[in-house]
Amino acid sequence: MTLKSKTAVVTGSTSGIGLAIARAFAKEGASVVINGMGDAAEIEKERAGIEKEFGVKAIYSPADMTKPDEIAAMIALAEKTFGSVDVLVNNAGIQFVSPVEEFPIEKWNQILAINLSSAFHTIRAAVPGMKARKWGRIINTASAHSLIASPFKSAYVAAKHGIAGLTKTIALETATHGITVNCISPGYVWTPLVERQIPDTMKARGLTKEQVINDVLLEAQPTKQFVTVDQVAALAVFLTTDAASQITGANLSMDGGWTAG
């Protein structure tokens, strides 16, 4: 258990990539704070499941990632409950697709708040403790869209490019304090969110399930395979190890070759 006696806070971790990362940290012995939206009973089932399966302590914070005060309170809760925040994963994110001239201003503001500004607020709150302990791991979930663009995703692409820049900046600021700061940039990841989009796309475009997967979702990924949540989680775990202590300020692509072209 490489993370025994460590505490990890993972935003947007009630499902999908974030939940897989939280579970992977718990498997390594870390206490975890999960956060995100969803059905209260389902969230409690996942929280209790982490404790039972991995023999660690897990708590849930309902902090709204658009509200700086709630974000700061989540970090404070983790420090009060466990004594430290050693690993911070900024994973919370939403998406909205629209031509720029029709893009709702409130959606732009919401995406920038959740996908980018929330990471600033968590980092700002967690770094003092990490500096004091001379150890910390900050991992930001970016996207292939932190490196390249797609049409109709102005807010998302802007936020993910911002995450890449924020990662580099904080890495330089904390480089002599035993803290590493990196981002993981997945391509299309097989999650319930993606799976639920398939029937609507089949209907809208008159395609089979296989055509939607291969010609729409995986069109940009040369391997023609989805990234799995467990693969993203495994990379996140690796970034917390001593072997990765000299990896900082990096944007690590995991996209089946999408951004290689």
Whole-number Å distance between alpha carbons of 187 and 130: 30
Phi, psi of 93 (to 5 degrees): -165, 150
Amino acid identity at 54: F
Residues near 9 by Cβ (< 8 Å), separated by ≥ 6? 32, 33, 35, 61, 74, 75, 78, 85, 87, 88, 89, 122, 126
How would you class 42 by CB atoms within 10 Å of its CB: exposed for 0-12, middle for 13-18, buried for 19 or more?
exposed
> Is 156 a residue of the active site?
yes
Q: Which two tokens stand for residue 21?
A: 């990362």
Kindly name the residue from 156, 188, 226, 258 that is annotated as catalytic: 156
43 Cβ partners below 8 Å, 6+ apart? 14, 34, 36, 60
Catalytic residue numbers read 156
